[in-house]
Amino acid sequence: MSAVYSDVIGRDPAICGGEPVVRGTRVTVRTILASLAEGAWIDEILADFPTLTEAQLRAVIAFAAASAEEDMPVLVPPEIA
């Protein structure tokens, strides 16, 4: 996990089964991403979870993007003779 995200996102086996959460909360990264996938706007998520900040939500999105990039294989185009 990047140092940029470690201030915002943490994992602790004693909190939410070790799932990544916004530090100081029990709000999981998965919960936030699921809300976004269902079409919720940032202001709606902030209303649902008033302890969160917009900066934290943006860090969750950036974390998810970086995590997805790390999990994707690099495709090497075939060499053309």
How far apart, in whole angstroms, are the C-alpha atoms of residue 8 and residue 31?
A: 15
Q: Which CATH architecture has domain 3-67?
A: Orthogonal Bundle (1.10)
**How many Cα atoms occupy the beta-carbon half-sphere of 73 within 13 Å?**
3
pLDDT at 52: 95
pLDDT at 74: 61
pLDDT at 71: 61
Closest-CA residue to 19 (of 79, 76, 60): 60
- What are the average pLDDT values for consecutive 10-residue runs of the chain, which has 81 residues? 73 91 94 96 95 94 82 65 61
Where are the domains positioned within the chain? 3-67
pLDDT at 5: 75
